[in-house]
Copies of this chain bind each other. A is one copy, B any other.
Amino acid sequence: MPKSSTHAYSRYSLDALELMGNLIRESRVAANLTAEALAQRAGISRSLLHRIEKGDAGCTIGAVFEIAAILGIQLFDLDAKNLAMRLSYSTEKQALLPKAVRSSKKVVKDDF
């Protein structure tokens, strides 16, 4: 992330990133695909795939999701069909939300 990368990531984010990397490697090995072969299939370089498998926070989410998709790893525990349904439902819901938030300052779940 450009600009003086000073801010730290939460443990939760780091764990999720690492788990994602692990799942990807697991799936890749299970599919008997070499890093090079999978990278090529996704249109990315082997070095990027390597970073993804290591749980690098700096990889773009599109690359990570695409790799997961190719390997059949479900995102949000949803398959293609249900994901599409969930999305359209979510999009409808968006329309009902207030367009702008006023005040600010409100308590947020800090416990996780």
Binding site for B on A (CB under 8 A): 1, 6-7, 9-13, 15-20, 22-23, 25-26, 28-29, 31-37, 42-44, 48, 57-66, 68-72, 75-77, 79-80, 83-84, 86-87, 90-91, 93-94, 97-98, 100-109, 112
- Tell me whether chain A's interface is mostly helix, strand or loop, or mixed: helix
A88 to chain B, nearest CB (A): 9
Q: How far is the CA of A76 from the CA of B76 in the complex (A)?
A: 6
- Interfacial chain B residues near A71, Cβ < 8 Å: 108-109
Q: Residue of B at shortest CB range from A11?
A: B80
Say yes or no: A19 contacts B61, CB within 8 Å. no
Q: Residue of B at shortest CB range from A6?
A: B43
